[in-house]
Amino acid sequence: MNAPLRRAGVVILVLFGLLFANLNWVQGYKADDYRTSDYNRRVVVAQYERPRGTIEANGTGVATNKVTDDALKYLRVYPRKEVYAPILGYRPVGLAATGIENSENDFLSGESDKLFADRVKDMFTGNNTGGGNVLLTINSKAQETAWKELVNNERGVDKGAAIAIDPRTGAVQAMVTMPSFDPNPLVSHDEKVAGAAFNKLNKDPDQPLLNRSTAETLPPGSTFKVIVAASALQNGYQTGTEIEAGSEYRESGAVIHNAEDEVCPGRKIDLKDALTESCNTGFARLGVTLGRDKVIAAAKAFGFEDSQLTVGNLEGNGLPVAASDTGKIANPDGTVDKGALAQSSIGQRDVRMTPIQGALIAATVANGGKQMRPYLVQKLLTPDLRTIYTANPKTLRSPVDGQVADGLKEMMVSVVENGTGRKARVKGLEVGGKTGTAQNAEGADPHGWFIGFAYNDKGEAVSAVCVMLENVPGGHASAEAARIAGLIMKAAAGQGGD
């Protein structure tokens, strides 16, 4: 055999070898990936041959199905549209799901190992059993109240978020974001219609697809003073300890003023009154006195800088939560920037917080210093409604002890009874909280915050809430957030009265 033919033969053998290896790689290692790919149309059609499990809140289906006459037999339907969209997300044709539809996709679709016995049974009965059902922790009255009050707020604000948590368990009672979106067009079986709907929402500068409760971080303003107060109580201060205050405080180029001239104009004020009146100069000085390390440590203890938290199933994944952050509070050479520390101690400068973090701060105080891991999935039910999972509340962290929590509770109740949080009062409930007005972009209206908690007449902590309104016009930005928060807690507690 001459040399050219021999070389050609070797090349052909090598090519056959590579083809054989690729075939085995595809069949042996990639088969499942290709079989389950969202781009595999046969898989897509098969997914719609049986009904997807429902998602329920208080016994009402908030994600259900409708039988169609097209190739994809079942159409996903979201009856409450914008109200639950940030929680539920959506399950589009041929693409990845979002929200609870994503984190519980295997169970809802019937492909979860938890439903293996049901699939085996179908092999013998010939049935095409649907997916499993997900029961949410959401209190529908609290959710509807949060949505109604947020979108009809008295300041004309068009962006914000509200979240409520049961302090004793971590169960999320309400989660609302504004603006929201209608998921129904996004799950249309006409993929051109769904694509156009997504593109419109995705290009909207108001970001309706953003879950502001969990994924947006903004300066929290004076709500951060609860963290600084906690650090003070952990370091020898009492609620009656006097701290330096005054009408103005200058530190390393930073100038701190109070919101109004009548707020803590004197040289000293006790810690409880400082929180009640929201004394900026007092807390700025207090933060500098405590030092950067103690302020940052207190924030971390409450959950700042936690980038791993999800909210969904306590045994699995859920909605991702953005990390809240204090910033470095440092000069370029790494030394403490005392001016930045003064500003950070009143929730400004580089401090950023999610609304869910604000609710967790309030919930921790209400629960005696123990912070429970927040969750949205209460139960998982098989297609024949057998319970195979019930949430077992878990402690996430313990930022403060009971004595410090009691001191914070006393001060936060004073805020609502005597101070800046009066709008959050609810008849029949003991309410505590903290307001926050956060400056942001130059020339922009400030953000209005309120974090708080409520106890019923039995002394039980029944709800902890955070309401955030972006760019509130007209002054006293936090007052409307406090009003809305009170109504959400009232609904969550099932209390009557004004």
Q: Report the range of poorest mean pLDDT among 118-127, 306-315, 373-382, 403-412.
A: 118-127
pLDDT digits (tens, 9 = 90+) for 307-365: 999 999 999 899 999 999 999 999 999 999 999 999 999 999 999 999 999 999 999 99
The confidence score (pLDDT) of residue 273 equals 97
φ, ψ for residue 266 (rounded to 5)? -75, 170
C-alpha pair distances (Å), 365 with each of 297, 311, 360, 396, 398: 17, 20, 9, 14, 10
Place of tokens 């033969």: 9
Mean pLDDT of 474-479: 89
Sheet containing 74-77: which strands, arranged edge to edge? 74-77, 60-67, 55-57, 133-136, 377-381, 387-390
Res. 386 pLDDT band, cuts 50 70 90: very high
- Pairing of β 55-57 and β 133-136: parallel
The confidence score (pLDDT) of residue 255 equals 94
**Residue 449 exposed, middle or buried by CB count within 10 Å (0-12, 13-18, 19+):** buried
pLDDT digits (tens, 9 = 90+) for 131-185: 999 999 999 999 999 999 999 999 999 999 999 999 999 999 999 999 999 999 9
The confidence score (pLDDT) of residue 424 equals 97
Share of the chain above pLDDT 90, in %: 79
Res. 396: pLDDT tops 60: yes
Q: Round the average pLDDT of the chain to a whole number and report it.
A: 91
- Report the distance separating Cα 484 and Cα 498, nearest Å: 13
Res. 4 pLDDT band, cuts 50 70 90: low
Res. 24: pLDDT tops 70: no
Structure token pair of residue 378: 């209460």
pLDDT digits (tens, 9 = 90+) for 418-451: 999 999 999 999 999 999 999 988 889 999 999 9
Mean pLDDT of 72-97: 94
Res. 239: pLDDT tops 50: yes
C-alpha pair distances (Å), 438 with each of 101, 123, 219: 34, 60, 6
Mean pLDDT of 53-77: 94
- Report the distance separating Cα 463 and Cα 139, nearest Å: 11
Structure token pair of residue 176: 């609302």
- Report the distance separating Cα 340 and Cα 323, nearest Å: 20
Q: At what angle do helices 280-290 and 292-302 cross, to 10 degrees?
A: 100
Active site annotation includes 222 = yes
pLDDT digits (tens, 9 = 90+) for 244-261: 999 999 999 999 999 888
- Report the distance separating Cα 403 and Cα 329, nearest Å: 29
Among the listed residues 109, 112, 140, 222, the single catalytic one is: 222
Res. 17: pLDDT tops 80: no
C-alpha pair distances (Å), 129 with each of 68, 107, 108, 474: 17, 12, 11, 56
The confidence score (pLDDT) of residue 13 equals 73
Higher pLDDT, 13 or 36: 13
Instruction: Answer yes or no: are the C-beta atoms of 287 and 342 closer than 8 Å.
Output: yes
> What letter does residue 166 receive in the DSSP assignment?
-
Higher pLDDT, 410 or 25: 410
